[in-house]
Structure 1
C-alpha cells in the first residue's frame, strides 16, 4: 500500500465515523504502512502526517479532516478539543480504556489542565491495578498478604481514610506476621479458628473475624480459592472477663462531685474549654475539633454538627454517619464556653475553628488525671453527658438524635449508666433545661 492509498483509506474512513484519531489507531493493526501515520490538531482541523524514521523527517500531507479529535499516542488516550458550553464553562472529553470521561473548567486552560491531571490519575490507577492483578495471577501462589494488598485497592475506596487506617492497623498487628505469608489455599478453618480464639479481647476478635470474612469471601467469589474457610469459623462467646466494666461501679463516668474538682484545675489550660463543652453537649472529640463559629446559632442557642477532624489523619471529613449530622441544644454551661471564647478569642471570620488549641486532648486530660487523681478521657465526657440525659428522663429518641446515633440501642445499651445521688444537682438542672426547650415534660 502506497502513502497516497493509505491517506485515501484514512480519509474515507474518517468521513464515515468522523474520528480520524480512532481510524488511525484501528488501521494500524492491519497495515505496516499506516504505522508511520499520526494526526495533528491545528486550527480546528486534524492533519495527517507521516514520520520518516530512518531520516528523522516529518512530512505533513495536505489532507485534513475537520473535527476536534486528537490522540495521545504515549498514553493511548483519545482526546477531544475543549468546547465552550452554554453555561460558560469549557468541557473536554476523552476516552480511556473504553470509558468516556468528561472534565469541566471555567477557562479553556483550566479545562485542559484538569483533563491532563485526570488522565494521569487514571493511568496511575490502571498501573496499580495491573500490578495488584499480577500479584494474584497464579491462584496457587497467592499469599494472604498479597491478597490483602489487592483487596485494599477497592476496599479503601468504600470507607473513610481514617477508617481505612484502622483497618490496615488491625491487619498488620493481628494477621500480617502470623498467617500473612501462608498461601490462601493452605489456610484452613482450624488455623483461623485457633488464631481468633487466642486474640487478646472480644472486641478485637469481632473486628478480625469481620475482616477475615470479607477477605476470604472476596477471594472465593473471585475464584482464588475453592471453598471459603471462614464459613466454618465462629466468633467465640464473650467471656465475663472480656465484658466492658460496669461504669457506675468503676467510676468510668465523671461524677458531678469530681467535675467540680476537675474543672477548676483545668482552668487556664488549653484543654479546659473543649473538656467542658464536650461534657455539656456530648459531642465526639473529632466533632468538637471540627466545630466552626458559623455552626453556632446564638439566637436559638444551638450548634450544628456538619464536619469533624479525623483523629488519625488530622483532616476535615464528613461526620461519622448520616445520623451524626444534627443540631444540639446548648446547656447554659456550654453557652458559657462559647461566650467566653468569643469575647477574647474570636476573629471576624466565621470559618475559623472554635477550639484552635486542642490537638492532643487525650494526652492533656491524662496529665491532669495524674495531678488530680480523677481519671477522665474525652469519650468518658460523652458517656457522662448521655448518662445524665438518661437520668434526667429525656426520651430515648431525642437522646439518639442529640448523640448522633443511627441505632437507638447504642444510646441505651452503651452510653447510659446508673448515676447515684451525688449527681442529683446537675440532673435537676438538665431536667429544667430540656423542659424549657420543650424536649420533655417535667414537674418538680
Structure 2
C-alpha cells in the first residue's frame, strides 16, 4: 500500500448535524484514520488500523485534534491586502478601500501574487477550501484557480461582474462582456480538477437589470455552476437597492426576477431578511452564508442563526476577507458564538465546528467531497493543538470532555494552534509557512508619513 498513511490523534468525526441530532449521536471520537490515494479509507482504533494497514506510513499527532479542513464559504481574495482597514459603513468601505485595491488586479502578475499569498495564509489557519469573489478581470480568476491547483485545493470562484455606474469606471464591464467572460471561464475551469465555477454578480447595486438577466441566463445554461452574491447586509444598502429597483418586492426579488434565485445560490450575509425572502430561500433550497467578523467589523447587524436554522436553510460560515477582520475560521467561530449570545441563542462547540466544515460544504453542495471525514471523501484535514498557548492550555487542562477541551481553542485560538494542514492527504503547512516567510516583491503602495 505505497503512499498509504495512518494518521494518529483525536479524530473528531461529526457524523450528523448537531443542530438537528442529539450531541451524543452527532459525533464519534476515533483514535486514527487512514489516507489512501488522497482519500479517507478508514477510521477506528490505532490497534485495528495498524493491523489492517501494516505498511502504512505512521504520522502520530499525539493528543492533537484532527478535523476536516475548514471550508470558508464567502471571501474576496483580492481584498487580502486591505484586510483590517479602518471600518466605515459598507458603501464607504467599498469606495475607500475595496474598489481601489481591486483595480490593481488589471495586472495579472499582481493577481497571481495575491492569490498565492491568500491561499498560503488560509492554509496556515487550517482552511482547505474557499469560495471567493475575484475581480472583473478574468485573469484574477485564472490566478486563483491556478494557485489552488498547485496546492491541490478545492476552490469555488468566479469573475465579479459590475456594469452600473455605481462602480468606478476602472471596474465596470458590460452585460455582454460579463456573460462572455464568465462563459469562457466556465469552459476553462468548471469541473477541472477540484475547481468549481460560481457565476458572480457582486450585488444588485452594481449591476443593471440587463446584466443580472444575462447572468441569470448563463446560470440556466450551466446549472451545475454555483451562483454567489450579496444579500441584505446593511439597512442603508437595502434602501439603496430599493431606490435602484423600485419595482422589486424586496432585495431578493432583484435576483429572483432575473433568474438568479435557486438551489446552488449562495447569498452572503442575509442579515435583514423579510418574511417573503426567507420563505423563497427555503422553498428553492438556497444557501445563506454567515460572515460574523465582517458583520461586526463593518457594523452590519446580527445574523439570525436560530431563526434561519428553524426554517431549514442551508447555512455556511465565512471570514468574508477582507470586510471580515481575520483569515481564521477559529476567530470566525468565536465571532459566531458571540453573535449567537447577543441573539440569546448561543452555539455549542459542535455546532460551530459543523458550520465551519460540513455546514459550509453542504451550503456549497459539496458535502460528498469536503468538510467531512466520511470514508471516500478527500483527505482535507486540519490538526489542532488544543494547548497552543499558556492561556488555552491552562483552561483545557480542566476539561471534563472533548467539547470542554475544544472550546477554548475555538474562542482563543489562532494560527499557532495549527500543527498540520493536509490537502488531499498531502501535508501543506510547512511549505505555506515557508513561502509566507519570503520577502514579497510588491512595494508598499504609499509611503508612511
TM-score range, shorter chain: under 0.3
Identify which of structures 1 and 2 has the higher relative contact order when contacts are C-alpha pairs closer than 8 Å and 6+ apart: 2
Q: Could you tell me the TM-score, scaled by structure 1's length?
A: 0.19
Structure 1 or 2: larger strand share? Answer: 2
Structure with greater Cα Rg = 1
